[in-house]
Copies of this chain bind each other. A is one copy, B any other.
Amino acid sequence: MKKAVETIQLNHGSGGKLMHELIDKLFLGYLGKVAENKGDSAVLNLPAAQLAFTTDSYVVDPIFFPGGNIGKLAVCGTVNDLAVAGAKPLWLSAGFIIEEGFPMSDLEDIVKSMAEEAKAAGVIIVTGDTKVVEKGKADKLFINTAGIGNLRDGNTDISTGKRIKPGDVVIINGTVGDHSIAVLGARQSYGFSTALHSDCASLNGLIIQVLNQEDIHFMRDATRGGLATVLCEMSREQNIGIEIKENDIPVKEEVKGICELLGFDPLYLANEGKVVLVVDKDAAPVIVKELQKHPLGKESRIIGEITKDHQGDVVLNTSIGGRRLIKMLSGEQLPRIC
């Protein structure tokens, strides 16, 4: 006799007995019980008094992809938002919106990934929520994570971009586009298969290697909209010019090939393990070396610089010797990449 597959029922979101069982067995089983958290709020002690606070919802399609799943992504993404703000990520919340009939074993795999990634990143998931909607009213599973980080003295303005000055150089910690191409490949509707893995990773361990250096003037993770969008935001927000060398931007050959095939620009593809750093020119070689010591920073390199000229614009020096403006995306983008 075939055993029925255990799936999520509407009652798992009802506030009643089934929801309590789901929380006790699955969520607290993997994520750990925080003793003080009896009601809906977690009680947290913080040594310092300045915080970073961020949130992201994750709707990636498909929910499992080479190199990760929606749960791992939901931890990494929020950890990274805190880390690039100069904060030490400490606590996460997790809100699940689940479609009725979702396989329990998939949910278990995803929660397990979250627990593993949280442990690896040194953060604790301290509070959560579960809602179940009727079949067809959500696409399998959406996860929201919010995060709190502790901002150390001296880092509190790192996320503003105000420290950026002409002459500074732009660094990235590795290849761009891997996440988008891995997810699109997993969708199977794009007509290609790939051995590529998402770069989905928590970057706080890498960032801490260089964070205590005063020469770090700005950081941002290059997620939705990719490297190009981070550069456009920087130039627009700070009214600075940026020059980037196409030849210096690390892109895997396979990513290049698929981009040519499908008409994508790798600069606009989402990453989930890439940070863009703007650092003092003189300090840059040492910072690159420090980054390269970390497994997630082995391919770190300088890709461009901040200029006095063409304020508010990002200029790409192309591999064939031309120059073109990098613009904020206005046209079609890839939905549900994160």
Contact = CB atoms under 8 A, between A and B. Distances in A.
Contact of A160 (B14, B36, B139, B330): B36
A53 B91 contact: yes
A55 to B, nearest CB: 4
B133 A336 contact: yes
Interface stretch (A40-48, A196-204, A242-250, A316-324): A40-48
A220 interface: yes
A42 B78 CA distance: 12
B53 A220 contact: no
Interface string A116-137: 0000000000111101111011
Nearest to A45: B50
A156 B335 CA distance: 43
A329 interface: yes
A156 B160 CA distance: 34
Given A57-B131, A137-B138, A38 B159 contact: yes
Contacts of A160: 36, 38
Interface residues of A, number: 85
Interface in A108-165: 126-129, 131-134, 136-139, 142, 144, 146-149, 151, 156, 159-161
A261 to B, nearest CB: 21
A206 B220 CA distance: 41
Contacts of A15: 223-226, 229, 270, 329, 333
A77 B126 CA distance: 18
Contacts of A47: 49
B144 A95 contact: yes
Contact of A139 (B40, B84, B137, B223): B137
A71 interface: no
Contacts of A133: 59, 61, 139, 335-336
Contact of A329 (B16, B57, B93, B161): B16
A44 B11 CA distance: 38
B335 A132 contact: yes
A171 interface: no
B40 A44 contact: no
Q: Which of A91, A96, A225, A334 has the most CB of B within 10 A?
A: A225
Contact of A142 (B17, B45, B138, B226): B138
Contacts of A156: 36, 43
27 contacts: A11-B330, A14-B335, A15-B223, A15-B224, A16-B333, A39-B84, A41-B52, A41-B84, A41-B85, A42-B52, A43-B51, A44-B50, A44-B51, A44-B53, A46-B49, A53-B91, A54-B93, A55-B95, A55-B129, A55-B144, A57-B131, A57-B144, A58-B131, A59-B131, A61-B137, A93-B146, A95-B144
